[in-house]
Amino acid sequence: MFNLLPSVPQLLFVLFGAMALGCAVAMVAQRNPLYSAISLVGVFVSLACLYLTLQAPFIAAIQVIVYAGTIMVLVVFVIMLLNVEEEVRRPLRLTYLIPVGVLLAAVLVGEAAFMLSLGSSAPTPAQTTSGSDVGLTASIGTGMFTKYLLPFEVTSVLILMALVGAITLARQGRTPLFAAPGNVDEEPAVLTAGGDVAIKPGDTAATGRAYAREQIRSGDAAAPSTSAGEEER
């Protein structure tokens, strides 16, 4: 009676495979950038579930933590802060790229068909890896800190450089990290007609008073009722 049931891994594969495909199509087809970002999160999560069915739990967890949990949160943040509008449909430019796209899609489909024809005779990944420790946390850690130590360290230096670069770019408008000629915005002192220094650079209270006096003179603001008002801060 229950022989028609698919096996559990088969069912999970179909379920999450369909979810990944659907989310991927939705991501490309959506015109609202935020919907695209949410669809991409869906793709990442369903891919992580597929990794789980392929007995690679560590990769699955890292997929969710790094991509879905960190990178996409930043993307969503940027979309939210910039308040990106919905894309409008524009007339297609670069029409000569269409045949190239069709050709590449044909190559991809052909490759997939070739792999599927191979796969029917070869053992499925789940069978080959079930006995080994490939994809487990311990084996990945051992490999990363022994055999692949140098690439691992070089990659971390690369990421550190990106971090330093981002901080340098973000700070450029404000206090410069390195005081060099042309790097510091010099604020000129305000001089009286006689040549004496009236307001020193950085004296905000004095500049505020000068601005208020200027406004009163030009009639943009009413003069204070008492004569002592000008001395108040």
Partner 1 sequence: MDWLSNQIGADWARALAQFVGINVGFVVVLMIVAYTVLAERRVLGFIQGRLGPNRVGPGGMFQPFADLLKFIFKEEITPSASTRFVYFLAPIIAITAALMPIIVYPFGPEVWLPFLGTFPLVIARFDIALLYVLGITSVGVYGVALAGWSSNSKYSLMGGLRAASQMISYELSLGLSLVGVVLMSGTLNLYDIVVQQGGGGGVLNWNIWSFWKAGTCPQIIGFITYLISAIAETNRVPFDLPEAETELVAGFHTEYSALKFALFFMAEYVNMFTVSMLATTLFLGGWQGPFVDVFPWIGIVWFLLKVVFFLFLYIWLRGTLPRFRFDQLMNFGWKFLLPVAIINVILTATVLYFRWS
Q: Contact residues for partner 1 (CB under 8 A)?
A: 2, 5, 7-9, 32, 34-35, 38, 41, 45, 48, 57-58, 60-62, 64-65, 68-70, 73, 76-77, 80-81, 136-137
User: Minimum CB separation from partner 1 for residue 119, in Å?
Assistant: 22
| Closest C-alpha among 134, 174, 136 to residue 58 | 136
Between 9 and 17, CB nearer to partner 1: 9
Residue 122: both structure tokens together: 């070869």
Between 34 and 223, CB nearer to partner 1: 34
d(CA 39, CA 20): 9
User: Minimum CB separation from partner 1 for residue 197, in Å?
Assistant: 35
Phi, psi of 49 (to 5 degrees): -65, -40
Longest dimension (CA), the chain: 106
User: Minimum CB separation from partner 1 for residue 168, in Å?
Assistant: 18
Strand partners, 197: 191
Between 17 and 209, CB nearer to partner 1: 17
Name the strand (E) or helix (H) holding 210: helix 204-218
User: Minimum CB separation from partner 1 for residue 198, in Å?
Assistant: 35
Phi, psi of 6 (to 5 degrees): -70, 160
